[in-house]
Copies of this chain bind each other. A is one copy, B any other.
């Protein structure tokens, strides 16, 4: 294993460099430095590719007798084999052409969205989909071609597991949404007027990130156009949020969301630090941690009962006459809307379901690229009752497809569903009310013990199974949403 770990160390050096360059790109790089930054990213990508496809290294990996290895070493080898397989299975000439296509597609997508002109993006999307279909044939699948793509983002995830989740959303949550539409709307005017001074928002977000357990000795909270978090390693976590003067909840919610991701990474065991297993295992499990902090913590009444006063002190001119109950209601207001990233907790899964539906149709050849906008708008009308006024606010709103990411969207809802299943177990084991009253270290340790420490040592299904003594079960999620919103709207 010595030679393999040496190569892993080298790969990790280049991953770190890729990370720091991309962090700079997102948070600091001046406009005209774009070319230098893009060149560096390309340079590093090429080196990474060469290292991972180095024939001597691949031989080492393939020839090692895993039977005699420790659990960690075995998993290290398996992960390498998978990574190598994924790269090798695609002919290099196609891989390079695909990457070039993605660069051009991203530019085309930006232009299409700015000009509200789907036809600029459509030919690129067509090509991307054709590549993906080819890749699916290389990867292989058992039941549904889309499974091969789902597996890219959530290992082992399949249409047969996701259909029940999205079916329940469609069949069970739709009536709830209709009921809510009939109720008196919640007044959230004070939240979205402001102006809420950004420096005060910053101060508050910094405090709550720290309060719930983010370790600022091992991480940074900064600002970027779109909030994200990344791990350079467990001692070097970078996360961002975004502040709006006329939306007090956005930055708070994003901060808790990204903190959830970051706590996962900060909690990975030191024993994995030198391996390729030292980061969260999947997008879905990651999203379960972020959603747990964003929604179960940050959108709960109990949390705000202990923290609203501080917020009032920062913004007395806006909040002194607001009760904590009204604040809680306002941040949970349900309002069907056009844009996924601005959606509330209940309508959010519908946005994802629509994308899931469309992606499934694409890869079973049920819809053509030209028909996509029409299909998109139909589904928005059907499920959210919304007329999509323009493709920019419709099918062109998300960056994912222009980056070749199909099968990614479902992980957003999967994460919420995992979170509910986890919470169901968690409240049996620890006192969650106490957590919300301020004892966040209990929550951090608990999640650390059952999820964080393992990094990528255990696959998502194994993790969920071991932790909750049950396979993935979407019912908890539906039940949770039902209970929460029925109570909130007095239905």
Contact = CB atoms under 8 A, between A and B. Distances in A.
Interface of A: 13, 16-17, 20-21, 23-24, 28-33, 35-37, 39-40, 43-44, 199, 215-220, 222, 232-233, 235-237
30 contacts: A13-B39, A13-B40, A13-B43, A16-B36, A17-B17, A17-B40, A20-B21, A20-B24, A23-B24, A28-B220, A28-B222, A30-B216, A30-B219, A30-B220, A30-B235, A30-B236, A30-B237, A31-B217, A32-B215, A32-B218, A32-B236, A33-B232, A33-B233, A33-B235, A35-B235, A36-B232, A36-B235, A36-B236, A37-B236, A199-B199
A32 B220 contact: no
Contact of A32 (B24, B39, B217): B217
A237 to B, nearest CB: 8
A206 to B, nearest CB: 13
Contacts of A199: 199
Contacts of A40: 13, 16-17, 20
Nearest to A24: B20
Contacts of A23: 24
For the complex formed by this chain, how many copies does it contain in all? 2
A43 B6 CA distance: 13
A199 B236 CA distance: 27
A17 B18 CA distance: 10
Contacts of A31: 217-218
Pick the 5 closest A-B CB pairs, nearest first. Answer: A33-B236, A32-B235, A31-B217, A32-B218, A32-B217
Contacts of A237: 30
A199 B17 CA distance: 32
Contacts of A32: 215, 217-218, 235-236
A457 B441 CA distance: 59
A190 B317 CA distance: 33
Contacts of A219: 30
B29 A236 contact: yes
Contacts of A218: 30-33
Nearest to A17: B17
A488 B44 CA distance: 56
Contacts of A13: 39-40, 43
The residue in A30, A31, A40 that gathers the most chain B C-beta atoms within 10 A of its C-beta is A30
Contacts of A44: 17
B233 A30 contact: no
A481 to B, nearest CB: 36
A239 to B, nearest CB: 11
Contacts of A39: 13
Contacts of A21: 17, 20
Contacts of A220: 28-30
A40 B44 CA distance: 14
A199 B33 CA distance: 26
Contacts of A222: 28
Nearest to A35: B235
Given A23-B24, A199-B199, 14 more contacts: A13-B39, A13-B40, A20-B21, A20-B24, A29-B220, A29-B236, A30-B219, A30-B235, A30-B237, A32-B236, A33-B232, A36-B232, A36-B235, A37-B236
A232 B44 CA distance: 16
Nearest to A216: B30
A261 B36 CA distance: 20
A200 to B, nearest CB: 11
A30 B210 CA distance: 14
The residue in A17, A35, A222 that gathers the most chain B C-beta atoms within 10 A of its C-beta is A17
A127 B249 CA distance: 58
A365 B30 CA distance: 49
